[in-house]
Structures are given as C-alpha cells and as structure tokens.
Chain A
Amino acid sequence: MAELKVLFKDIDVPGIQTLEVYEQHGGYSALRKALGMTRQQVIDEVKASGLRGRGGAGFPAWIKWNGIPKDESQPHYVQCNADEGEPGTFKDRELMLRHPHQLIEGIIIAGYATLSKVGYIYIRGEYTEPARVMRRAIDEAYRAGYLGKNILGSGVDFDLYIHMGAGSYECGEESAMMSSIMGERGQPRLKFPHAPLPTIAGLWNCPTLINNVETLSCVPAIIRNGGAWYASMGTEKSTGTKIFSVSGHVNKPGNYEVEMGTPLMELLELAGGVKGKLKAVIPGGSSVPILPADKCDVNLDYESLQAAGTMLGSGGFMVLNDTVCIVKFMRRTAAFYAHESCGKCTPCREGTRWMVKIFDRILAGGGRMEDIDLLLDICDQIDGRSYCALGDAAAWPIRASIKHFRHEYEYFIKHGHSMVEAQAEHSVGGR
C-alpha cells in the first residue's frame, strides 16, 4: 500500500502556500460551497464523513460542531489547537508551514457552521516559522475577502487571530489553552460534569469549538467531495486518512499520510524501513503506551491500536531499534512530563517529579528492586486521580515500559548499568 493523500494532496505543488496557487487548485471553493449550504448541512456533511479529532482523543468532530448552541445570544468562538507539543509529533507544523490556506479555509467553514465570528489559532511558541507563514496567509485571505466582514458577500463575518504559546506543553490541553488565551496562568479548567462543556461555556464562558489543526484541515476536502467520499476511506469507525509523524530509527523519517487501517509494518516500510533491528514503536506520541516489536502486527486505526493496548493519539510515530535502553528512554520521558506538569494538582506535580528522582537514582546505580513496583504504584496513584490528562499521560508510558521491558529495569538495578549498552559493548568486543 502507498500513501493516500487528502491533506497532502497538493502539498508538493510549488507556491501552494500562496493564495493564488491555492485558488488555482480549488482553494476556497469549499468555503464558497459551504456558504451556499445551511449551517446544519455543513455539520451533517462532517457527520457523514465520520471525521474524528486528530489532536489525540479521537472524539467525533461533528458532535462538537453540533453541540454549539444554534442561537447567537452570545458570541461563539473557534479555537484551533496548533500547540503540537506532543513529543514525536510534527504534522501540524507541516500543515501550517506548507499548506496554510487549507487550514484557514477549514477554520472559516467551522466558524460558519457554528455561528462563530471569531477564531483563534493557538500556535506553539517554538513554531515561529509556521506562525509567520500563517500570518502571511491570513493577511492574504483578509485581502481577498475570505476573512473579515461580509465574507464573499455572504453577510457572514469571521475574524481570525494568531495567539502564540509561550512554551508550555500543557497549554495544548484544550482548557489550559482557554486559560492561556484569556490571559490567565496556563492551567486546565474544570471539565464536565464539574463545569459545562466548552461547546457551551468555553472562551469567556461562551460557546467554543476546539479542534486540532489536522482535524480542521480535513474540512475543505470533506465539503468539496462530500462526507460519504471521506468515509469511504479508512475503516468503519476510523474513516479517512491520518498523518503519522515518523521519527527515530527509520531510514526516511517524515510525515506520511496513510489511509486509516493501514498495517503498522507498511508505514515502517514507507518510511524507508527500520535502521537496525526493531525493538518497539510508540505509535501516537510519547503519551501512549509503548508497543514492543512482537506486538507491531497491528493496523493503524483507533480501534485496532486500542485493542493492542496502546493508542493512535496524535500520530507521533516513534520507532526504536535495539540500541535503545528502555530505562534511559523512560527516564527522559518521565523528565518531560515532570518538566511540563503545570503544578496545579497534587498527583501530577509531586508524582512526576518523584518518578524522575527514582529514575535518576536507578541510572546512578542506586536502584532497589522494589523501585519497580514503587514506580508502578506511583503511576496508579497518578493515573485517573489527576486534574487533567497530562497526569495520566505521564503514567501510561512508564507503566507500559515496565510491563513489556521489566527485565531491562531489573538488569539495570541489579548491575547498576544498562543491559542494552552492556550488550552493545559486548558485541563490539567490549571496549
């Protein structure tokens, strides 16, 4: 099987970042079409497409769209999540850097469907170059009348703002992002049933549609070709295509758009095959459980990956060969979550730092056998008890790594050094 390009269909067209070239390739025809449809028709088309959120959770997009109140007693907002902080994920970067108008068109359509007049693209702070491209594209779209007052004479208004992040992974979490946009400390907010859904009370307590860059970038093609067309790709419950950001020990790392349900091993081949011997794959960004090589015979869609004990997540597809020491790898992962914990809730704030300290001690040769179960128990005490999903995400990878590679931990603790590195030294004749 090869790539199946929907989002990337025109990505290699020279100058597709410019409005002119984008329009030559059918750009903004979806918007014109949508403006000729009723709002509900647009939502129904998204429903028919079966599109699910690409930010990580895979929530059906149309349910959020449809959940926005159908009256205009309050302002409505579209919040496009372009924070892309998930380690191993770099698809939104490419979508913004190389195909900005596709995203803008998707956002405007979403705004039309949800009666929103204002949209925010919250761009990861480090993404200065994609932000510059987006800025240029937004300016072009304003000049061409796709943004601003009375879009294309339809009577519909829509303004789009870029809000730059400041380097916090947690601000990619949708409610923390709301706090950040509103000028508050970048910490998450109460969720349903403790507070209304963002579709009812999001930004400034007004209805807010929150979708990922990739999710929204799918929208123009869906409107142009119809939801049924989109749903004809992929599997029954995971429709369409998905971009995987393949990194690590492969010969051709990069973003690959494949049909949902593509076998994992085929994606590895597309990326030029594994460098060396495959040890494990982390298919959906650092937050999802690790998949050891012997479990990699699985298809890439929400359901299959879940059945295999991991998740599709953001599509940050990290490939590990047998030179990787799982203990050291997990120490790095734990350090990431400890560093990115916003500090609001007890389990994540204290638990993530504690785990790093345990890892550091193990790495320094001071590990105790009971540390393995202690790590597992700390994971249990964080998972499901924390305020937002960052805590859960800090626990899952470590727990899975112990489940699949416990012997590496035991070796490290017993010998005070890495099993993998010891073997490597041995195989090169023990320097």
Chain B
Amino acid sequence: MAEQELVTIEINGIELQVPKGEMIIESAKRIGVDIPFFCYHPRLGKEQAANCRMCLVEAGTKQPDGSVRMMPKPQTSCTLPASQGLVVFTDTVAIQKARRGILEFLLINHPLDCPICDRGGECPLQNNTLFYGPGVSRFVEEKRHLPKAFPISDYVVLDRERCIHCARCTRFSQEISGDAQLEFLKRGADTMVSTFQNTEFTSRFSGNTIELCPVGALTSRVYRFRARPWDMKSQKSICTRCSNGCNIWLDYRPNRLVRVLGRENEAVNEEWTCDRGKFGHEYISSDRRLLSPLVRRDNRFVTASWVEVYQLIASRIRQAVEERGAGAVGAIGGAHLSNEEAYLLQKLMRVAVGTNNIDHRLERNQVAGGDTLLARLGVPFTQTAIADIEKAKTIFIFGADLVDEQPIVFLRARKAWFRFGAKVIIAHPEPTETELRFDEPLVLRYRAGTETTLINGLSHLILQSGRAVTDGISLEELQASLSEYTPARVAQETGVAEDALREAANLLGEGTVILCAGRVRNHPEYAVLANALVNLTLLTGNGSRGNGGLNILLPEVNSHGAADMGVLPDLLPGYVPVNDREARERIERIWKASLPAEPGLSTQGMLEAAAEGKLQVLYVIGEDIAQKYHDPELAQRALENAGFVIVQDLFLTDTAQYADVVLPAASVAEKEGTFTNTERRVQRFWKAMNPPSPDVKPDLNIFAELAVYLGKPLPVFSAEQVMEEIGQVFPAYAECCYDQMPAEGVRWMPTLTDRGK
C-alpha cells in the first residue's frame, strides 16, 4: 500500500501527525478529545453531512511567521479535512456556547418522551444534552406536533416528533442500501423523513436505519417496549440466516432474546445487517420450541427421557447395521450445525455407525463438494474475500438476485460501484431487484437455460480480443473448444444483443469479481457451467493472481463449514476423498478407527433409497427436508418409507411429523462454536442464554452421547476441544483454536491442496 501523506496539525495545543485529509473529528479521537456529533457517521458520505452543527470547532491555519489566522466562523469538524498547519480548538467558550445553542434548538421541538422511548438510555441526544446541553430551555411556544408511533413497515416505526433531521437514515438508504426509500419531505421546520407517499418502507436493510438513528425517531416494532437498555445483556454471535456470516449482538434478558444488533467486523459486514438477520432470530425465544425428547407411541408423540430415546435409537441403528449393514443408516444435515457439531456428526456416522451415508446438501447439485472449482482453482466455492469485493474493477453478478440471496455481499458489490467506481454487469433471465440498485448497470437478459452458452460466448470474445491471459490453461485448446461460440450464434441463442456481449466482454478482465448464487448452484448441468465459469476466470487473469475471482456463494449459515468438515458422502474433513487410501489412513490414525472406504449415498441417494424402503434408519439434523428439499415430494416419500426416522431440531417441523423420535436441540444463542461463512471465514459465536428447558441440548452433546450409546465413545468435553482436533485432521483449521482466533475470524487458506490460491 502506498504510504499515506502525513500532515502536522494542532488540536487544543497538542501537536499531532495525521493522514492528510482525515476529518478532524477523527483526528481528535486519536488524542482522546471528545467532539460531540449527531449526523456524522464514518461510513456515510460527507456530502450530505454537516447538518446537525453539533461538532463545530474553531479552526485556523498557521502562517509562515508562526502566527495563526483563524477562520471567521466555527467549522464542522466532521467535514473539515486535516491539512498542514491546521490549528483547531474544540472547547473554547464560543464552542461551548454554540453546542448549548444547537442542543437547545434540537430540543425545542423534541417531545422529550424519554421515559417511554426505546432509545432512552442509549440515546445520543440524551447523552450530548447531559454533557454539553443547557440546563434549561427558553422555549415557551407550542412544540411541533406530528403523529406518534407511525408504523412505516412491519419492522420499523417512525416518530417524526423525535427526529432531529440528521439525514443518517436517508443517506443510508441512498448511499449504502441504494433503495432510496427514505427522503425528506417539505422544508424548513416542516422537514420530515418519509417514504414515498407514506408507502411501506420495503428496504431489505431497514433495520440499519434504526441503529443509525441517533434518537428514537426510527425504532423497531419487534423490540418495541421489550426492555430498557440497562437491564439486558449482550453476547457476541453470528447471524444464522444466510451464509454471509454477519457479526451480530444478541441482546437478551435472562431467558428471552429481545433484539439483534449489528456488530462490527470490517472483513464481513462492516456494521450492517440485513432485515432477515436483524429481525429473523425471533425463533430463538419462540414458545413453540421443543422442550423435551419425543417418541411416537400409537401415532402420537409422547415425551420421553434422553436415556430412553438414546437407547431406542442405539438399538434401532444396531439392528439395522446387523440386518442390512451400515449402509442402511444415513444422516442428512449439517448446514445449520456449527463446525464442531458437523465434524462430530460425520465422525459419529463414520466411526460409530460405519457408513459414509452423510450429506448436508438439500439443493439439486450434489456433485462431489465444490468439485470443479476445487480441482481447477484450488478453492471449494469462493475466491474473493468479501472485503476485497470493494477492490473489484468489474462486478459480474451472474444469475443471482444478489440483494435477496446474499444481502451483505450485495452491499460490498454496491460499495465497489458507488464509492470506488467499479463497473457492473448483471446477467439474469428476469428483471431483478438488484438491477435497480445500480445506475444503469450493463444488463444481459439471457434466456434461462443458456447460461453456459453465454459464458462461453464471453470467453470466446475475450480470446478473440487478444486480451486473454494464460493462467494454467492452454489458450489454443480453449480457443478450439470455444470456436463455435461466435457472437452471432451466442446472441441468437441467449437473446442478448451482440453489442451487449461485446460491451460485457470488454469490461471483463483482471479484477473482475464474478458473483453467482442459487441459479448456478442449482443448474441442471452444474459441472459444465462451472467449467465454463472457471475458464472465464482463468483467461481474465483471475485464477491464481489478481484482485478478481469466481465466487459461487452458498445458501446456509454453515454450508461451507459442513463441506469443510466432510459432511459429504465422498469426502472426509478437509476435502480428503474417502477412497484416497493414504490420506484416509492419516485420518484413521488420528481417530484411532478404521473408516469405510467406499463413498456413501448423497442426500438424493439416501432419499431415493429410503423411499424404496432400503434405508432402515434416517437421521435428519436441523433440516426441514419435507419442506426445504429441492424435491419435497421425494423427501416426504422417503420419510414415510424409511424404517426409523430420527429428527433433531428446535421445532416440531413438518419433517418431524414423520419422526419416530424427535430430539430437541439448542439454538445458536444457547451454545458456542464456530461457523464458516461463504468466503471461508471461520468465526466464533458464544453462548448467551440457557436453553428453554434443561432437556434441550446442544447438538454437540447429543452426538457425543449417542456415540456412547452406540458403544463407540467419542470423548468430547467442549466445542473448543473439538476444534483442536479439527485442526489436526484439517490443518487449514489449525489457526482456528479458540484462544488464537482473532476478532475478525480466520479466513482459511487452502494450502493443503496446493492448487492455486
């Protein structure tokens, strides 16, 4: 990185060196000088800032003769850039007076309903008034009156009387989420925040505006009146609602989750959350949670003790293995388990049961985990770190409605464009919401089913242009194999105009980040398409070098971790093929057990077998396959016809209705562990609360105890200890020991495979 130019400035008589152009409000922090503020926010552009006038300072510049020429008016430190010789005073009598004046102005129309305001106790307006405000107001007129508690969406309620017009929410919606849902109406003292014609606030990121709002003007309908900030506790956690792995705070009262707040992690979510994450953890404290194990008797569920169910399960598994072999037992699940749990689950199946019938995938593509990418790019699914998306020269969103499927990755992609000027290409058969969040992106509206043709057509154009890079591929061979993908033919087949194809090809090059999601993962000819995408990645120079890369983003919170942990029928932890004898034996030595050498059944295989009555025991962990399997009917038939069904979950799901035994599992808030997000970042989460009943257990405990009942104990004392073992089996995880893990988590690097980056 280029050295940043430093300048010498003076704040309150203290000389310091800061990067040129740094905002003075930030420079002041360096020496512990507190400048109060409302509208300033380091992640929001300064163009619309400087409106609250709370951060005023007196400023001047040092003249060559050593004297200081003061600027005639006080300046807003949130927008004043540091320059050589700048002299700043933050606490003069004039500034103290100005601050009192600003706070008096802000309070004249403020309802001061702190006792019933959800922001009370953590309100910058309260705090700044306490420290910098006047003791009394001289305002004796009638205050402004507006409707209180005006709901603008299912999640957000707006109190315009409390608004201080700082424009944080409007700037967020214009600059960060890009949906521009919030804007000011009217002017002067009548100015008010509003959605378009008071329609619903439908942003996917509305929750962030609640946190940004420095007063109680935007508050959460979910959290409303649930707690005062001083009588709840907070625990660090990871959002479980998608694979991005956003860092969150779980705020809870003794045994009730009351709200979720974004937690800073520059590498992942900066400080944002999407609304699914922010409002989507209510399930944790739902009163429909399972509270004890259930056993089916006379077609009804009755509660049972753990000893009873363990004995029952163990006997049914033993019986199946004896009668039909270990292949008659299978387990589905893992994408919602922690790494430690996923690891232990597959170990349980492989060591204690003796089968490779284990899979975490519910989507259509069930070719061996990350097959093509791992072989050719050396990574299972994604090349680009989420934070590095910002550095992209071109963002190519391929077949994904990113804002819906991968909201936080979308925010980075938008930042790359909005802040850093990246070019944007969006290819999708239908209009997507994502397209609306960029100004005039290049849209390639291809016919569904022509994905591979489109990608090959683009590769062909790049080869023709002579810009193609040799990066582990032979360009001649590729040229030959792609020769028939002429622009004319590709345009004809895909329906994308030739001009648009050429324009897109011109934008693709070093620094192109390709972002794909569900449509690519579920493509009927996934392997062919993935190969085409890898070709494009390699010939644009984004294979082993460069800032770009190919990313097939994953669906669930721990899809990546489950694959890493070997919750796959053909791969052991660390993507070791079960039939690779040498590698398998290494793991056998660590586990002190012998492992089945033949690949097991995939999810699809297990369900087909079960549907035909060939699976004696089906163990489903944390997945509602009757609903969520890509072919739900097959899942339902499988559940009906399997000999014995065990379902382990938080709720009595549709899948659980088919179960013979239901095991109540703890939620993310009630246990600890790690998840691996879609960019391979391993991140810890911590236990906040106790489970809703003493009979609800973390999955880790259930697997460990089940192993005992199966007569093959897998001694486990803690998640931390499991992680240490994972590090031995899969050295890429060696850095993930709990006591070493940095706050940002560890993005593991596929050094083991030695196949590129």
- Contact surface of A with B, Cβ cutoff 8 Å: 168, 170, 185, 189-190, 193-195, 338-347, 349-354, 357-358, 361, 374, 380-381, 384-387
Contact = CB atoms under 8 A, between A and B. Distances in A.
Given A190-B46, A351-B105, A354-B105, 14 more contacts: A185-B183, A338-B188, A341-B187, A342-B191, A344-B51, A344-B165, A344-B167, A345-B51, A349-B189, A349-B191, A352-B188, A384-B73, A385-B101, A387-B50
B214 to A, nearest CB: 12
B164 A346 contact: yes
Interface string B120-156: 0000000000000000001101100000000000000
Contacts of B76: 194
A345 B106 CA distance: 10
Given A341-B189, A349-B191, A350-B189, A386 B79 contact: no
A353 B165 CA distance: 15
B35 interface: no
Contacts, number: 106
Interface residues of B, number: 41
Contacts of A351: 105
A358 B56 CA distance: 27
B187 A342 contact: yes
B80 A193 contact: yes
A21 B105 CA distance: 56
B72 to A, nearest CB: 7
B186 interface: yes
B186 to A, nearest CB: 7
B57 to A, nearest CB: 12
Interface in B360-385: none
A178 B105 CA distance: 28
B138 A374 contact: yes
B750 interface: no
Contacts of A342: 187-188, 191
Nearest to A366: B140
B53 A386 contact: yes
B50 A381 contact: no
A339 B101 contact: no
A88 to B, nearest CB: 21
A74 B2 CA distance: 26
Contacts of A346: 51-54, 102, 105-106, 164-165
B188 A339 contact: yes
With most chain A CB atoms within 10 A of its CB, the pick from B98, B102, B189 is B189
B84 to A, nearest CB: 12
Interface in B3-56: 46-47, 50-54, 56
A167 B710 CA distance: 81
B74 interface: yes
Contacts of A193: 75, 80-81, 83
A345 B139 contact: no
A92 to B, nearest CB: 23
A345 B55 CA distance: 12
Nearest to B105: A350
Contacts of A380: 101
B50 A194 contact: yes
Contacts of A381: 97-98, 101-102, 104-105
Contacts of A350: 105-106, 108-109, 189
10 contacts: A190-B46, A190-B47, A339-B188, A343-B186, A343-B191, A345-B52, A346-B52, A353-B189, A361-B141, A381-B105
Contacts of B54: 346
Contacts of B141: 354, 357-358, 361
A194 to B, nearest CB: 4
B74 A384 contact: yes
Contact of B53 (A343, A361, A385): A385
Contacts of B52: 345-346
